[in-house]
Structure 1
Amino acid sequence: MEVSRRLEPGQVREVLDLVDTVAASDGVIPLSEHVILHLRHGGDEEVRHVLARSGDHRLVGYAHLDVTDLVEGPSAELAVRPEDRRAGVGRALVDELLLLGRDSDPGGSMRLWAHGEGTGAQALATSMGFERTRVLWQMRRSLLASLPPAELPPTIAVRTFLPGIDDEAWLSLNAAAFTALPDQGNWTAEDLEQRKAESWFDPTGFLLAETPDGELAGFHWTKVHGAHHHHPPGDDDHVHPHGHAHVPIGEVYVIGVSPGHRGTGLGRALLLAGLHQLRSRGLTQGMLYVDADNAAAIRLYEELGFTRWDTDVLFRR
């Protein structure tokens, strides 16, 4: 096992190639977006990278350990090359992660993400004594089916995001909208810049709800997977869970409403505005992620035609 705080460019290319290989085989991207972004944009000093190699020095597995969350504890994700599974690689990676996690948080617990229902990561986590603590549903709906109109509250107007102009105001709105979800609410200017630099970023799909005095009341940021543009190594547009790389799909990437405008119907209106915008671009499928225990959100999504498609699980031990 190779353990390091920062990967060399050649190692990054190896890891991203591994991610693409696993995604092509499983139909599920094995690492979350923020991990892939950190890999492509230089990483983070508070991260541990674990590389597993074969006797001929091929990269057969990779694990990422984030030790920055002092409250919830270290969080890990991993990927194992399909042809090298059932040989103990995944178990060895998790054992190494547990050792590294204890070094950073003696006596603490470790969290482990398993992406995609039916993948080996969930079975591995269960077999090693991890317990489910959070479940994310991926939900989808056809954009060819009828969509209700987006009925905005009185005085609210929708416009598109202006890069370099709306950044600071949007970060403030995002923080206020997601106080209960720090993974999203704690985004920094650097987090925003990384996503603006991605090939999929399109400000015309980033909708802002604005009051007459210019206050941002909410937003719906959409993302298109599989569009025909340049794909850097490891770009998550390569493969779609249970889908086909040549069929674009629109995602409800992030949607939020300021505390002062909740209960006005703005969230539903923004959701529909984004779906209409995705459909106007010729997309035929829409997707989103939601916590499985968020009954109110799931009820809204089901009312609008979304159904459960796949599952990501966060384990803890």
Structure 2
Amino acid sequence: MEPLEVVAAVRTACVDAGEQDPLDEASQLRLKHHGLEGSTLATSGEDGFAFSHAGAVDLAVAPGARGRGVGGTLAAEAFAGSGPVTAWSHGDHPAAAALAERHGLRRARALWVMRRPAAEPLPELVVPDGIEIRGYRDADRDEVLRVNASAFAHHPEQGSMDAEDLAGRMSEPWYDPAGLLVADRGDGTLAAFHWTKQHDARLGEVYVVAVDPAAQGGGLGRVVTLAGLHHLHGLGVEEVLLYVESDNEPAVKTYSRLGFTHADADTHVQYRRP
């Protein structure tokens, strides 16, 4: 089996076992659009892989092959040396914590998954005067990038999105311009946007919510979030999820007030070796 086939097989085995896909969206897009250019991939037979790229490692072992030292062998190669590196544990697994500690990585971030059943009624959407909520148009590209960069200036992944990254995401099968809702000031500039994502017939996602810092403090984040939820509910999904940094108290409060809840098991942890 070729190395990339091993990655696909292990990912499928994990998902079929009811686990999170071991590759997050950024890693999936990297492999899809750039292959192994600038990256390395180590495999252990057909049982596991370690994908190393830009100072980050994605390591996974098929559920049926665990407990045999496969993860330890891959980790020893992927985390060799003492240089800076990051790795995500999708699900906060104790085995991942043990591997991280063995190689000098410490818990750095916790990303919560919050969920909301679509059966719960939504509050009425009230849009402020001077703002129009509408679907994305091609002419909005530069404004979406500007608002995103400003809103996520200190975010290590989302804030670096450029035109190529945006185009890559928009080339995905799930993309729908009607689901990228923008808050138009009416003068060619955007105050905020909410990019929604429909995974399948039953699951939707609050994919990205960004508010121009100059427009923050007026409740616009809640407005565009609610607009996106109404859009997703209109598509007939059964559940909506979102990802939020556990220490982002304002965002957690906003989402909680809109009916989102978090279970401890729904936590992704990033480990980092400085």
Shared fold (TM-score greater than 0.5)?
yes
Pairing 1:181–2:155 present: yes
Matched residue, 2:267: 311
Q: Which of 33, 47, 62 does residue 81 from structure 1 map onto?
A: 62
Matched residue, 1:244: none
SS in structure 2 of the partner of residue 138 of structure 1: strand
Paired residues of 1:12 and 1:39 also in contact (CA < 8 A):
no
Residue correspondences, number: 271
Paired residues of 1:218 and 1:257 also in contact (CA < 8 A):
yes
> Structure 1, residues 220-269: CA drift from partner, whole Å, max 9, x if none?
00111124xxxxxxxxxxxxxxxxxxxx2110000100111111111000
Pairing 1:132–2:107 present: yes
Structure-2 change in CA distance of 1:17 and 1:167 (3 Å): farther
Matched residue, 1:159: 134
Pairing 1:32–2:24 present: yes
Pairing 1:226–2:197 present: no
Paired residues of 1:26 and 1:119 also in contact (CA < 8 A):
no
Unaligned runs of 5+ residues in structure 2 are: none
Give 1:46's aligned amino acid: G
Q: Which of 164, 167, 183 does residue 190 from structure 1 map onto?
A: 164
1:16-95 aligned within 5 A:
16-43=8-35, 45-53=37-45, 59-67=46-54, 74-95=55-76
Matched residue, 1:253: 207
Matched residue, 1:239: none
Q: Which of 97, 109, 128 does residue 84 from structure 2 map onto?
A: 109
Pairing 1:97–2:84 present: no
Paired residues of 1:138 and 1:289 also in contact (CA < 8 A):
yes
Structure-2 change in CA distance of 1:287 and 1:51 (3 Å): same
Matched residue, 1:280: 234
How far apart are 1:167 and its partner, in Å? 2.1
Paired residues of 1:52 and 1:93 also in contact (CA < 8 A):
yes
> Structure 1, residues 3-39: CA drift from partner, whole Å, max 9, x if none?
xxxxxx9533431232121111142111111101111
Percent identity over paired residues: 40
Pairing 1:301–2:249 present: no
How far apart are 1:303 and its partner, in Å? 1.3
Matched residue, 1:238: none
Q: Which of 209, 215, 231 does residue 189 from structure 2 map onto?
A: 215
Unaligned runs of 5+ residues in structure 1 are: 1-8, 54-58, 68-73, 228-247
How far apart are 1:129 and its partner, in Å? 5.0
Give 1:24's aligned amino acid: D
What is the alpha-carbon distance in structure 1 between the residues aligned to residue 47 and residue 98 of structure 2? 19
How far apart are 1:110 and its partner, in Å? 2.1
How far apart are 1:41 and its partner, in Å? 1.8
